[in-house]
Structures are given as structure tokens and as C-alpha cells.
């Protein structure tokens, strides 16, 4: 039952955060009137590919938190167990990478240069959150196992073993 509840909470949190960040991303479209770049209509094809890849990555990592971590991706309801399997075996922040791909895909679908810039700002905010809050919190929560993981697995660039 706990697994079901965590899965449901993860879906609800995920939908909320995707909607929130998609709304924020769409606000950047306003600046397109100052940028004179017209993208060809075929740009929507990479948009669909990026959204699909990002969505699959975000979903897979979120479900890893639910099933293996026995929690959710939300910082206020985080996993109780340390997660270093699945995509986390290759890179420490695959969920954020999935989010980045989702937002870039959304920008491509909207043929918006300004919206393509938004994920870069978002990534800076995420990076600062990770460095100054998340990693310190994980070190306190999981101790040496997280420190060992940090030394072995890159933050952003996947290591393919």
C-alpha cells in the first residue's frame, strides 16, 4: 500500500512541477518578438524526440525513487533508502537531465528561441540547489555510502562502464 501511495504522490508532484516549469518556460516566449529567428516547421520533430526521451528518463528515475528508495522525488518526501541503481548508476542527476530535455523539447515544439534559453537558466538554478542543498543533505542522510557514490559517479556527465 505504501508503494502505491508513494507512486501516486510522485505522479501528482511530477505533474505539478512539470506544469509549473512549463508555465515558467512559456513566459519566455514573450521575448521572441525581440529575437528574429524563424525555425523551420520540422523543428517540432526533435521537440517530440526530446520530450519523449526526457519524459522517459524522468519517469524511470522517479519510479526508481518510489520502488528502490521507498519515497518520492520531492525534497520534502525524499527516498528513505539510498538509490544508486538504474540510471543513477551512470550519473547522479538523471531526473534533472530528463527535465532539461523535456523543457528543450517543449521549446522546439513552440519553435521559440527564447524558450530554448529558459532551460539553461533552469539548469543553473538546479545546479546551485544540488551543490548547496541536495548534496549536503544526502551526505548527512546517507553518510559514507553517498560520499563513495559521489566520488564514483559524475554529477552531470554520464559514465558508461
List, for residues 69-90, the tens digit of each pLDDT value. 998 888 888 899 999 999 999 9
Report how far apart the first and last C-alpha atoms of the chain are (Å, whole number). Answer: 36
Tell whether 158 is covered by a domain: no
Rounded to an integer, the average pLDDT of 99-120 is 95
Tell whether 70 is covered by a domain: yes
Tell whether 77 is covered by a domain: yes
Tell whether 160 is covered by a domain: no
State pLDDT tens for residues 115-146.
999 999 999 999 999 999 999 999 999 999 99
Instruction: State if pTM tops 0.75.
Output: yes
Number of domains the chain is built from:
1
The enclosing domain of 130 has a CATH number of: 1.20.120
* SS3 call for 64: helix
Rounded to an integer, the average pLDDT of 49-63 is 95
Quick one: angle between helices 44-67 and 2-27, nearest 10?
Answer: 150
Tell whether 141 is covered by a domain: yes
Q: Say what the pLDDT of residue 159 is.
A: 84
Domain that holds residue 20: 2-152
Residue environment code for 60-80, b if the CB has 16+ CB neighbours within 10 A, otherwise e: ebbbbbbbbbebbbbeeebbe
Residue 31 and residue 125 in contact, taking contact as beta carbons nearer than 8 Å? no
Tell whether 30 is covered by a domain: yes
Tell whether 161 is covered by a domain: no
How many angstroms separate the CA atoms of 37 and 114, rounded?
A: 10
How many angstroms separate the CA atoms of 99 and 127, rounded?
A: 13
How many angstroms separate the CA atoms of 88 and 71, rounded?
A: 15
Grid coordinates given for 125: 538554478
Q: Say what the pLDDT of residue 141 is.
A: 94
Strand stretches in the chain, DSSP E: none
Tell whether 105 is covered by a domain: yes
State pLDDT tens for residues 17-53.
888 888 988 899 999 999 889 999 999 999 999 999 9
Tell whether the model's pLDDT for residue 13 goes beyond 90: no
Amino acid at each position: 500500500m505504501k508503494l502505491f501511495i508513494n507512486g501516486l504522490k510522485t505522479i501528482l508532484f511530477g505533474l505539478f512541477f512539470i506544469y509549473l516549469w512549463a508555465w515558467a518556460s512559456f513566459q519566455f516566449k514573450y521575448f521572441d518578438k525581440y529575437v528574429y529567428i524563424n525555425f523551420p516547421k520540422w523543428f517540432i520533430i526533435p521537440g517530440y524526440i526530446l520530450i519523449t526521451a526526457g519524459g522517459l528518463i524522468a519517469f524511470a528515475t522517479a519510479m526508481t525513487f518510489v520502488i528502490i528508495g521507498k519515497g518520492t522525488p520531492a525534497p520534502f518526501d525524499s527516498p528513505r533508502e539510498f538509490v544508486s541503481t538504474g540510471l543513477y548508476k551512470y550519473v547522479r542527476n538523471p531526473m534533472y537531465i530528463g527535465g532539461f530535455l523535456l523543457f528543450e523539447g517543449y521549446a522546439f515544439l513552440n519553435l521559440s528561441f527564447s524558450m530554448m534559453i529558459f532551460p539553461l537558466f533552469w539548469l543553473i538554478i538546479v545546479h546551485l540547489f544540488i551543490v548547496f542543498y541536495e548534496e549536503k543533505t544526502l551526505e548527512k542522510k546517507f553518510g559514507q555510502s553517498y560520499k563513495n557514490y559521489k566520488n564514483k559517479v559524475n554529477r552531470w556527465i554520464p559514465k558508461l562502464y
